[in-house]
Structure 1
Amino acid sequence: MFLGLASAGTSAHAQVAPTSGGTIEGVVRDAASQQPLANAQAFIVGTGIGASTSATGTFRLTNVPVGTVEVRVRLIGYAQATRSVTVTLGETARVEFALQQSALQLEAVVTTGTGTAVETKKLGNTIGTVDVAELRSAPIQTPTEALAARMPGVMVLPSSGVTGGGARIRIRGNASLSQSNNPIIYIDGVRMDNGGSGFGGTATSRLDDIDPTSIERIEVLKGAAAATLYGTEASNGVIQIFTKKGAQGNARWNLDYERSQLAYPGDRVAPNTGFARTPEQAALLSKLYSQKITPFVPFGYNVTEQLYETGYGNVVNGSVAGGTERMTYYVGGRYQYEDGPFTSDKLGGLAADIARRTQTSMNLNIFPREKINIGFQSRYTLLHSEVPQGGNSIYSPYAQAMYARPDMGYCLDDNGVKSIDAIAGNGRCKRIGNPFGNTLSNTVRESLQHEIYQDGTHYTGALSARWTPSTEFNFDATLGLDNTSMRAVSFWPFGNAVDRFSLNAPDGSRSVDDLWQQNITLDVKTSWDRQFTPAIRSTLVVGGQGFITHQRNEGGSNRNFPGPGLEVVGAGNTPSVYEGLVKVVNAGYFVQEQVGLNDWIFGTVGARYDYNSAFGESAGGVLYPKASISVVPSDRPWWTSGLVSTFRVRAAIGRSGRQPGAFDKFTTYRAQAASTGGGLMPDNLGNPDLKPEVSTEIEAGAEAGFLNDRVSLTVTNWHRKVTDALVQKQFPLSGGFTARQLANIGELEANGWEIGLNGYVVNKPNLSVDLFANASYLHQNVVSLGGAPPIKVQGSYVRIRGFIKEGYAPGSLFGAKIMAPCSSYGNPAAQAKGGCLKADETPFTLGTTGRAATKAELLAALANPINPTNLKLLRADDNGNGDYLDHYQGKPMPDWQGAFGGNVRVGKRWKVATLFEYKTGNYTITNLTDAFRNASPTLGRNKMAATKVEATLLNPASTAEQRYDAAMKWLGLVALSPYDGANQNDPGDMIRWRELSLTYTAPASFASRIGASEMQFMFAARNLMLWTRYPGTDPEANWGGVSNSLSSNQVDNNFYESSDTFALPLPRRFALTVRLGF
């Protein structure tokens, strides 16, 4: 599968018209190897008659009009081919196609953002396409994984290594500061829920509710220049999913079974370390951890590995497709079960990581009369998910495992007294205790008593109709419904303090959240396509689109149950309930005109006018225009270059927007309970002038095919400017409204490059090799906040140092910096206004002097044991403004990201495919995990470097020089208040071996023994290796996951990214699959 290329199928393969005529049978092969090509689209030009090829490369077209017709075949990775065939009434004509491999396919057909099907070469903007059928051998479980690393400019951000967790998707960065940056998602023309939901820091994604095996292709619009016709909300990009359809002919059955194993990499979470202070403690710890421990000599025990197991998964998938003259059908079903590599079995608990989805899909096309096509699509998913508490939570079992200080471990006897006789060894107690040395909230075993699960249903259905009165006119209408219902539960049972340590609701608690969302879509359009003269062709599209989104969110919580066995919210004594309702209505109409000149110069202009219920009363509607041009000089007869076989240049400009939250324009009040009766308090100030933020994007680029299109290069440069950006602003408090109010006062800019390189290196009968690489560059800048002060991500939580600040990329990191030597500055007077270290000075200060201690003074102070906590450091204030926490420390998104890999086919049976993904360039990860583990006196100092420092400083036998050396090492470890930001931001540059697969296609004679027409065996692996400078758990781990897109203030969800906060690493997955076709 080539990455970064526009690819396509055609809707023709699913459309037939009941009419008398003849039949065409054909076969499609690779021109070099003569191997049959499956899933190629064969159709009659200018009609709706078509079919896809079988595993043997054959196709059959029936009811073909009598006379000479043109048969065209398209397949991703190959140049399209056309043959003229003469059809006789009641007879069968035969035709053969030998397709040439092509790294550049400008004739590929796309439909997203164009209003009608159009060849890629006619567009001035880029549309990324993933042909999911080509990914059958790839180790993907979800549509999100199908998108990851497939095209430049699209970034998939996983949350952590917990099974079932959804990922955020960002297209060309962030186009909004305060509103959701999730791209909008359509499936077969129906708007669907593009968010996620769940408890415990791990949200499931609604995109991943879609059965990936039912998808034919995914088209991605990357910005406003391409997404104008989708109007408001499209500034973050559009993902359009096209599902598989049937074709006229006998039923074709497919059956797959996959068995997989999952495991966490054993080298990403460092062991917990500590040291004994006395011989007595050393004896106790030696027995507890079954190893020889000596006072003041650091030892280790990996507590996190107690939560690891080998996970497993099963996937069963089946489908059938076929059709008659009057109806075609596709019906599929998939069952997926995965028990991930997290476990509570070793220690005993309720927490689990289980994901189960039952998915069904159906696609019917009915042809009641010639020129009329009625379609019905239906998809239903039943979801169950169980996850351990995650995210930045002290109640998370793996947070507690990483917090654990083994030198603080102990066991309790039957009387609840610490006793060496209560120790079983190997990190276990005979009965109860705190064997891993947890110091806050829970023991690891107690945290495992927390049960978090989610159950839900997701239905998407559509009714569509097309009337084609002539070859020039098409009328299309789609009415669709997307309905999700999710119920999430967080439950601590009565008596969860099994080690007599926890004070967190030991009598139990329960929280329930019910989230229901419905999207209704209506899309109506007509197109007129006419060749006015031999040189001029015109395509006009006019239409309207509207959707209504309803969301209801309600739930409650309670705690302190009177006894065991009570598992309902009403059983506690401190009830709390909530309820929220949201309704958003959006409607717009659009027009687009495309003119082609001699089939090599194409110009397009269009516009959409939008109304949205979230716009303020005085805002009215908004107009989003677009224009583009595409020039393909290589299509002209005078183009004779032997090196550059295909060449195109293009440019586009367009606008789109993002509306405010549903209630942001209103003045609202909230209820205030009191013992003497309820009351009202000011809540939202309201703003009747609120309007959408407007994103204007310009892109330009070129495609070139070399050596008869065996090698291709695609380059795109884009620039985006967001005006009227919605920013939270504090208005005067005299009116009683203390909350900040949205206002259209901000401005953002971004620009970037997207590059794709693809090539067929070898193409011989028994060997073919194709290679690919892509890269995207991203630069973002907050131009103005309209007078508002910098906005901090995660509000008052001081340890998170992300800010939205003018002149910097959104989410940039600022924090403390330890005072540095004057020699490290080029101009200390200007660059270190708050002071710097002179020769022989250290950044330590003694007593209350407030000045830098010399080495001699520090050595004298270190003559006796000292706790690292008592080593006071001087913080830098380089700009001299008195703010010690405003030093720039990096940004959370890389300058460059991309992928590379290839496919190798050996003989007729074997195929190897691989994919690597990389991120690099000014890429900074907030490593709160190691900040705590290195610096916290109660929750950390349990990584080897920090343990050695503390042991040396506290050891009475250490010399002053040894303690001085340890203190110097402490400079690279100290973190957390009052040094927030220091030593917690690390480079995240990485290369990950994302995918590897080996596929064997059995001979037809072997498959026929069980009645099958085709049989494949596949071994695949995902997340095999990671090469990175990042010292933490995983550079792709994130505290936050996919969020609810309708939340009004999305600052935290947008910019709390690249934050590794007690997360599990991404697991490795190995799978064996058997595929059968009948």
Structure 2
Amino acid sequence: MIQTKDGAAGNMKMSYKHTTSYDEIHEKIPMQTTYGQGRNGKWTTHAESWGDKISDRAGGEDTYNKDKAYFVSDVGDTPFTQYTITQKNSKETFVEENFNRIFGTGKLNQDDFQVSGGDQSKTYLFSYSRLRQDGMIRNSFYDRDNVRLNTRFKLSNKITMSSKVGYTYSESNRIQRGSNVAGLMLGLLRNAPDFDMTHYKGTYVSGGTEYTNRHRAYRRYLGGSSTNPIYSNPLWTVNEHKNLTRVNRLMMSNEMNITPFPGTEVVLRGGLDQFTDNRESFYPIGSAGSGINSGAFDMARITNRETNYDVIARQNVELSSNISMVATAGWNLNDRKYSRSSSWIDGFLVNTDKHTTSVNTAAEASSVSNGRLFLRSTRAYGVLSLDALDQIFVNVSMASETHSTISKAYMYPAVDVAYQMTDLLNGMASFISFAKLRVAYGQVGVRPGAHRFETLAESGFGYSSYSDPVSVGQWGGGYRVDDDKGNPELKPEVKTETEFGVDFRFMDDKLSLSLTSYQNEITDMLISNALTPTSGYDTQYSNSASMENKGLEIDGSWSVMNQATTGLDLSFNWATNKNKVLSLSGTDVLNLGSGSVNSVARKGYPIGSLWGIGSQTEDGTVNGKFILDDNGFPQITPTKMILGDPNPDWRGTLGMTARLSNFTVNMLFEHSEGGEYSPRTLWVLRRFGTTKDTENEVTLTKDLKNVDGKVIPSGTTVRGFIKDFGGGDVLLDEAWFRHGIGGGFGDNQAYNFSIKDATFSRIRELSLSYLMKSDAITDMTGLNSLTFTATGRNLFAWYKDLVGVDPGVNVGGIQTGSGLEYFSNPVTKSFLFSVSANF
């Protein structure tokens, strides 16, 4: 990205930078290739891969019955027909081939051009950026064009005006991900190792009848007369689904600086940020999932406009020769308007790939929705900054905020004091070149969500006890009072923080060290509380929670060497934070996500704690001694429990910059210690028998029981593990993983065994640059400098307890809930090569 500024007076300057980036998968779950699709050691078309041992097969082509149903592929240049299999003979596996048909090397090309210049009365800066990216998931792409113009005019000795205008256009195709039967990773990782998913679409023929455009996946290896493949073939997801986005964004700001008198400054500023986001999602007939199996087409148009106005006045006051003060007063107005209009068509009347609503114009096949959001806030504030003797610095401020989401204004005070004690210590310790003590106290508020103070009406609802749903749409539509009760007493949630710190620099500023200790409490937190159904409502948004944080941060730098042609600089950061939920006002557990293992808030525990069914223990805690059944296996808890804390004990980084002549090396190393993580993909795949660990074999040296109580005699070679839960050795075989409590989904699993230590270390970034610069080249070409840079990002990582999953992945993305992974897209590593020219 180009760092935009206002430009500088002088001759015109130009720069051009080209960057090429290659993206590859960094972490991949190890998959097994030893056992085929099936159950109980036999090949079948079940969902799991607990079938026969592939190496024990006869080899060669499978045995077919060509008189029964068969499938003719529409994919590829080579004809392919799949007949009904009567015996599985082939020893081929396709794990790597299947993976490589979905993932490749992503490539990005970016060109950045910038020109700037001006004179004493005006400056300008113009930039253009063009990005074209093909993702590592095939058929995914992201394109972006950005243009920006910044100008600054000196209208008089007292008035200066600046303007910034930027426009961005982007478009992309994003591949469906996550926990759904049409998602990319779910179908890929559950796919049997002996199923080649190349021929994903074609014609199913049975009894002389042809069924065209059938979706072929590992659970429907012939396609079938039904359009439902159960799980999507990932090639269908990549090639047939479309999720297109086109965004136009305009950003503008204008600022006028007025200095009517010496020491007085007035700033007038206005800004606009506006975008339109047009989205289309297309799912042809045969896509996996009940909502889209008969075909679906979704269109959405999102518009957002945010305007911002500021008036700021500053006055410098010399109170004495040793004391000065700056008084600042300001006012801000922010206005936001958001709108989303969506339409949905399903139940296609014709099998087509055309993106049109004409595929079904019936009223019952169409739905239209829209939502609007309006927010307005104002902020008036004042700041007094005092400087005494160049040693004592005091800032006192007060802000008054009003929001359209609350009924009255709220005040937020803040004060910070710093004492620069360099002179005091210099006589006692000359190696200290700078020292400062600081303390701060302040409050900030977070407004409630929009339109939560009123009880609205809603439509599109239904009622169901289990299998007899009744929808209001079946009788022409209707409305009811929203079951989320409005709350006219809402107020901001407030964080009050106290901070103490010290800053040191040593040896003529070559070495620096800063320590900061903080403590904050957040009160009146905004959450949705469950209500008694007899009240007529399910939930109410209210100020009903509180939470505290206590932490310590240490950072520093060391200029080891700084000479004309050589240099070495080191930097580090270390931080720890301890969090606790103090109250939830009657709510036992507040869900921050979803899933059988969830991230929750619960009183007395850190925010985001992992929550799910565990194993019964004598002391009721997740780490207690197991209460075993008669066969020596753990038993699941009747209710959910805290399974772990995803927050790390501490995190740290180490950075290095080294210079030798015209070469520069930069490195950033990161470490995170502790915290728990639930890679539920690995847990669920144990049931399906597709991960590397499930191919383990063990030969018993004594009789052992499995989870079903079946005795497996000594000398038997079994696919599984031997485990002692505290009552002696037992056998973890297919029964434990497939239908026991040791793998799968739902609330009948012992998810305490899915929790892993999230400790990791990684080289976040490593780069090498070469600067080419000489007066001779400049005189001949006008080229001031040329810089070549090679960069690697996320190159290496080491995990304490995880295999194939990066603990930096969170299934919900950026949210309060954390520590969860479920069929998420893999993490990437990138190799970037750039050349920059300055004229």
TM range (shorter): 0.7 to 0.9
Separation in 1, partners of 2:192, 2:442: 57
Equivalent residues of 1:269, 1:1033 under 8 A apart: no
Aligned to 1:996: 766
Question: Which of 981, 984, 994 lines up with 2:754 in the alignment?
Answer: 984
Aligned to 1:788: 587
1:904 aligns with 2:633: no
Aligned to 2:418: 630
Separation in 2, partners of 1:405, 1:695: 51
Identical aligned residues as a percent: 20
Aligned to 2:743: 974
Equivalent residues of 2:426, 2:432 under 8 A apart: no
Separation in 2, partners of 1:428, 1:679: 40
Question: Which of 391, 396, 400 lines up with 1:600 in the alignment?
Answer: 391
Equivalent residues of 1:633, 1:639 under 8 A apart: no
Separation in 2, partners of 1:279, 1:374: 76
Aligned to 1:146: none
Separation in 2, partners of 1:608, 1:476: 18
Q: Any idea what the Cα deviations from partners look like across 1:617-665, whole Å, max 9, x if unmatched?
A: 4xx1100000110111115696452221111110111111111111111
1:444 aligns with 2:197: no
Question: Which of 932, 946, 949 lines up with 2:694 in the alignment?
Answer: 946
Separation in 2, partners of 1:321, 1:832: 62
SS of the residue aligned with 1:519?
strand
- Residue 294 of structure 1 and its aligned partner are, at CA, apart by 10
Q: Any idea what the Cα deviations from partners look like across 1:943-976, whole Å, max 9, x if unmatched?
A: 1322446999899997576559555445795353
Q: Structure 1 356/874 Cα, relative in aligned 2: closer, same or farther at 3 Å?
A: same
Q: Any idea what the Cα deviations from partners look like across 1:831-885, whole Å, max 9, x if unmatched?
A: 7999845xxxxx4xxxxxxx4226xxxxxxxxxxxxxxxxxx54255xxxx52x2
Q: Structure 1 1022/638 Cα, relative in aligned 2: closer, same or farther at 3 Å?
A: closer
1:1018 aligns with 2:805: no
Equivalent residues of 1:463, 1:480 under 8 A apart: yes
Aligned to 1:928: 680
User: Letter of the aligned partner of 1:746 in structure 2?
Assistant: A
Separation in 1, partners of 2:183, 2:796: 26
Pairwise mapping of residues 236-635 of structure 1 onto structure 2 (< 5 A)? Answer: 243-265=4-26, 267-271=28-32, 274-275=35-36, 277=41, 282=54, 283=57, 287=61, 301-302=95-96, 303-343=98-138, 352-407=139-194, 416=205, 433=222, 440-448=230-238, 449-494=240-285, 496=286, 505-563=292-350, 564-572=352-360, 573=362, 574-615=365-406, 617=407, 620-635=408-423
Aligned to 1:894: 648
Q: Any idea what the Cα deviations from partners look like across 1:59-100, whole Å, max 9, x if unmatched?
A: xxxxxxxxxxxxxxxxxxxxxxxxxxxxxxxxxxxxxxxxxx
- Residue 489 of structure 1 and its aligned partner are, at CA, apart by 1.7
SS of the residue aligned with 1:930?
helix
- Over the aligned positions, Cα root-mean-square deviation in angstroms equals 3.5
Equivalent residues of 1:508, 1:559 under 8 A apart: yes
SS of the residue aligned with 2:185?
helix
Q: Structure 1 286/525 Cα, relative in aligned 2: closer, same or farther at 3 Å?
A: farther
- Residue 337 of structure 1 and its aligned partner are, at CA, apart by 1.1
SS of the residue aligned with 1:983?
helix
Q: Structure 1 284/670 Cα, relative in aligned 2: closer, same or farther at 3 Å?
A: farther
Q: How many residues align?
A: 747
1:697 aligns with 2:484: no
Q: Structure 1 656/450 Cα, relative in aligned 2: closer, same or farther at 3 Å?
A: same
Equivalent residues of 1:995, 1:1022 under 8 A apart: yes
Question: Which of 740, 760, 770 lines up with 2:569 in the alignment?
Answer: 770
Q: Any idea what the Cα deviations from partners look like across 1:201-257, whole Å, max 9, x if unmatched?
A: xxxxxxxxxxx312xxxxxxxxxxxxxxxxxxxxxxxxxxxx412111111111111
User: Letter of the aligned partner of 1:600 in structure 2?
Assistant: Q
SS of the residue aligned with 1:1054?
coil
Equivalent residues of 1:273, 1:405 under 8 A apart: no
Aligned to 1:213: 2
Q: Point out where structure 2 has 5 or more consecutive residues left out of the alignment.
A: 45-51, 63-86, 208-215, 461-471, 701-705, 723-729
1:750 aligns with 2:504: no
Bigger relative CO (Cα 8 Å, ≥ 6 apart): 1
Equivalent residues of 2:60, 2:91 under 8 A apart: no
User: Letter of the aligned partner of 1:362 in structure 2?
Assistant: L
Separation in 2, partners of 1:393, 1:714: 47
Q: Structure 1 929/1015 Cα, relative in aligned 2: closer, same or farther at 3 Å?
A: same
Aligned to 1:728: 528
Separation in 2, partners of 1:505, 1:612: 41
Q: Structure 1 649/298 Cα, relative in aligned 2: closer, same or farther at 3 Å?
A: farther
Aligned to 2:821: 1060
Q: Structure 1 640/267 Cα, relative in aligned 2: closer, same or farther at 3 Å?
A: same
Q: Any idea what the Cα deviations from partners look like across 1:173-223, whole Å, max 9, x if unmatched?
A: xxxxxxxxxxxxxxxxxxxxxxxxxxxxxxxxxxxxxxx312xxxxxxxxx
Q: Structure 1 1009/1015 Cα, relative in aligned 2: closer, same or farther at 3 Å?
A: farther
Question: Which of 421, 445, 448 lines up with 1:660 in the alignment?
Answer: 448
- Residue 682 of structure 1 and its aligned partner are, at CA, apart by 1.7
User: Letter of the aligned partner of 1:477 in structure 2?
Assistant: L
- Residue 274 of structure 1 and its aligned partner are, at CA, apart by 2.7
- Residue 565 of structure 1 and its aligned partner are, at CA, apart by 4.4
Equivalent residues of 1:929, 1:1032 under 8 A apart: no
Equivalent residues of 1:551, 1:581 under 8 A apart: yes
Q: Structure 1 980/388 Cα, relative in aligned 2: closer, same or farther at 3 Å?
A: farther
Q: Structure 1 366/309 Cα, relative in aligned 2: closer, same or farther at 3 Å?
A: same
Separation in 2, partners of 1:459, 1:809: 41
Equivalent residues of 2:622, 2:643 under 8 A apart: no
User: Letter of the aligned partner of 2:8 in structure 1?
Assistant: A
Equivalent residues of 1:409, 1:434 under 8 A apart: no
Q: Any idea what the Cα deviations from partners look like across 1:653-699, whole Å, max 9, x if unmatched?
A: 11111111111111212135455554431213211111111111111
- Residue 535 of structure 1 and its aligned partner are, at CA, apart by 1.4
1:669 aligns with 2:457: yes
Separation in 1, partners of 2:178, 2:121: 53
Equivalent residues of 2:204, 2:223 under 8 A apart: no
What TM-score comes out, normalization by structure 2 length?
0.82
Q: Any idea what the Cα deviations from partners look like across 1:322-344, whole Å, max 9, x if unmatched?
A: 1112211111111111112222x
SS of the residue aligned with 1:982?
helix
Separation in 2, partners of 1:298, 1:805: 50
SS of the residue aligned with 1:373?
strand
Q: Point out where structure 1 has 5 or more consecutive residues left out of the alignment.
A: 1-211, 215-242, 344-351, 419-426, 821-827, 838-842, 844-850, 855-872, 1043-1052
Separation in 2, partners of 1:934, 1:754: 40
User: Letter of the aligned partner of 2:570 in structure 1?
Assistant: L
- Residue 585 of structure 1 and its aligned partner are, at CA, apart by 0.7
Equivalent residues of 1:523, 1:545 under 8 A apart: yes
Separation in 1, partners of 2:591, 2:90: 42
Q: Structure 1 753/599 Cα, relative in aligned 2: closer, same or farther at 3 Å?
A: same
- Residue 552 of structure 1 and its aligned partner are, at CA, apart by 0.3
Separation in 1, partners of 2:30, 2:781: 47
Q: Any idea what the Cα deviations from partners look like across 1:594-614, whole Å, max 9, x if unmatched?
A: 111101101111100111010
SS of the residue aligned with 2:816?
helix
- Residue 830 of structure 1 and its aligned partner are, at CA, apart by 8.1
User: Letter of the aligned partner of 1:783 in structure 2?
Assistant: L
Separation in 2, partners of 1:1007, 1:729: 68
SS of the residue aligned with 1:274?
coil
Aligned to 2:813: 1041
Aligned to 1:711: 511
